[in-house]
Structure 1
Amino acid sequence: MTAPDGPPRLTRLTFHGPLSESRADRLVARLAAGAPATVLDIGCGWGELMLRLLAAVPGARGIGLDLNEEDLARGRRNAELRGLADRVDFLAESATGTGRGPADVVLCLGAAQALSSLEPPGHIPAAFEALRGLVAPGGRVLFGDGFWERPPTEGELAAMWPGAHAGEFTDLAGLVDLAHEAGFRAAWIDPATLEEWDEFESGYRADVEEWLAAHGDHPLAAQTRERADGHRARWLRGYRGVLGLAYLTLVPVG
């Protein structure tokens, strides 16, 4: 989006989540070691990690599913620039009940809600059940989702998103238990660091904050400022240091 329409959208982010370059390299290397032929990315956004995995495994093919057309278009442009366009499809499709599997690697990074219509916390077990049916025998699932680093206080919950409650997430051990109950073993457990979170949150907001500084009299400035201030308050007064995110490399039980 250009200045007359509002701020640019997420141009400062490489990944749509708290993920550093070094961690991304490790995740891709682990998944590429199995020489997957097919990759399915649930709620892919622009599919950065999927594209890196395809680049690391010559001949592998990928499918990314998302409903955000702007993100999908960004993924297609990136695939074209990297010479991967003939090996990946970015599809505007719901992942709920999808028949796009099974795949050798299934990515579901912050997108558990895309696999069912259940509200938290029920969406996590439902996501694991769906993923169990989408991964090929001997394949891998890379699952990223939230957990409580510690029990949130009432004040912290009140400062988070509307309706936030302590039962919305488990702790990290509980998240891994849910994966095991669904028929997986967690080969690798990688919690995001606070530094990764802060980098993501700042990158998420940077376009908007710089646009507001330069376009304070724009017709959209007031509502944009309200949204930006609300997001910053939820982060700094609510979930910073309380909400974690773990990347679980899951192996389906045979």
Structure 2
Amino acid sequence: MTADTAPHTDLPPRLTRLTFHGPLSETRATGMVRRLAATRPATVLDIGCGWGELMLRLLEAVPGAGGVGVDLRAADLERGRRGAEARGLADRVEFAEESAVGTGRGPADVVLCLGASQALSDDLVTALRELRRLVADGGRVLLGEGFWQRTPTEAELTRMWPGASVDDHHDLATLTSLAVAAGFRPEWTETASLDEWEEFESAYQADTEVWLAANPDHPLAAETRDRLDTHRTAWLAYRGVLGLAYLTLVPTTG
């Protein structure tokens, strides 16, 4: 039984301090929405959407556009539906609890895939080909994808996620080249800053850390402490080593 499913009413709220489920600042998000909105998309598809914050902002910026967010986590999708309702977008967006593997939801004018290429395939090359299939000619893909800022040491890898390997990510040049080989041209290339990473990683655990400090004898305290400490150890190991690239990709034709 996990903290998300245990029948306790005194558990911390989940991820309330996160606006985006990733290292993304308000300034960067505003620029992304502005560039994507300038293409006047009629349809938006968000792969591994979570609560779809960037999709909702894009729909706000493009009156009449419709969006679909696909994810497997019901709680995040429900948060997205509440956000859409609060913005008056409920009739223009669908949050679908389903797998994105082989999805027939495309083609869309804008496809968002922010830290979620694994929702399409565990193989990045396959995921990039799927993104090309899912985006309409003349559209845009906004891909958020991890890359190594430098080659991690063996000691660093042992403190990251289970089974972490140098082969888990490419460097930025290789990542961009793979996108080109999959049928794209990079319109815009940017990477998350250390400040964005620190804001995200701190906010990711903050609710639970505060709860744990106040509830050290709770039945779920030991499990929660292990989970928090494991994630923090990983984050401090990949801090400054693992980057996140945001690539705005234009599909090639012909």
- Decide: shared fold, TM above 0.5: yes
Please say if residues 6 and 220 of structure 1, whose CA atoms lie closer than 8 Å, have aligned partners that are also in contact. no
Aligned residue for 1:34? 39
AA in 2 matched with 1:242: V
Shift in Å, 1:23? 0.1
> Which residue pairs with 2:114 in the alignment?
109
Aligned AA (2:238): Y
1:240 is aligned to 2:239: yes
Match of 2:157 in 1: 157
| TM-score, reference length from structure 1 | 0.96
Alignment match, 2:248? 249
Any idea what the Cα deviations from partners look like across 1:93-135, whole Å, max 9, x if unmatched?
A: 110000000000000001000002x3xxxx2111100010000
2:164 is paired with a residue of what secondary structure?
coil
Q: Deviations over 1:134-162 (max 9, x none)?
A: 00010000000100000101110011011
Give, in whole Å, the separation in 1 of the partners of 2:8 and 2:105. Answer: 38
- Partners of 1:156 and 1:239 within 8 A in 2: yes
Shift of 1:5: 5.3
- Distance, in Å, in 2 between the alignment partners of 1:114 and 1:161 is 18
Query: 1:151-230 maps to which residues of 2 (within 5 A)?
Result: 151-230=151-230
Measure, in 1, the Cα distance between the counterparts of 2:225 and 2:175. Answer: 35
Higher mean Cα deviation, 55-64 or 212-221? 212-221
Q: Once the two structures are superposed, what CA deviation does each residue of 1:3-24 show, in whole Å capped at 9, x if it has no partner?
A: 6353221111000000000000
Q: Deviations over 1:46-66 (max 9, x none)?
A: 000000000000000000000
Q: Distance in 2 between matches of 1:169 and 1:5?
A: 39
Structure 2 length normalisation: TM-score? Answer: 0.96
Q: Shift in Å at residue 166 of structure 1?
A: 0.6
RMSD (CA atoms):
1.1
Secondary structure at the counterpart of residue 201 of structure 2:
helix
- Return the alpha-carbon distance in structure 2 between the equivalents of residues 5 and 162 of structure 1: 30
Looking at structure 2, the residues matched to 206 and 170 of structure 1 have their Cα atoms a distance apart, in angstroms, of: 30
What is the match of residue 48 of structure 1? 53
- Unpaired runs of 5+ residues, structure 1, are none
Matched to 1:44, the amino acid is: C
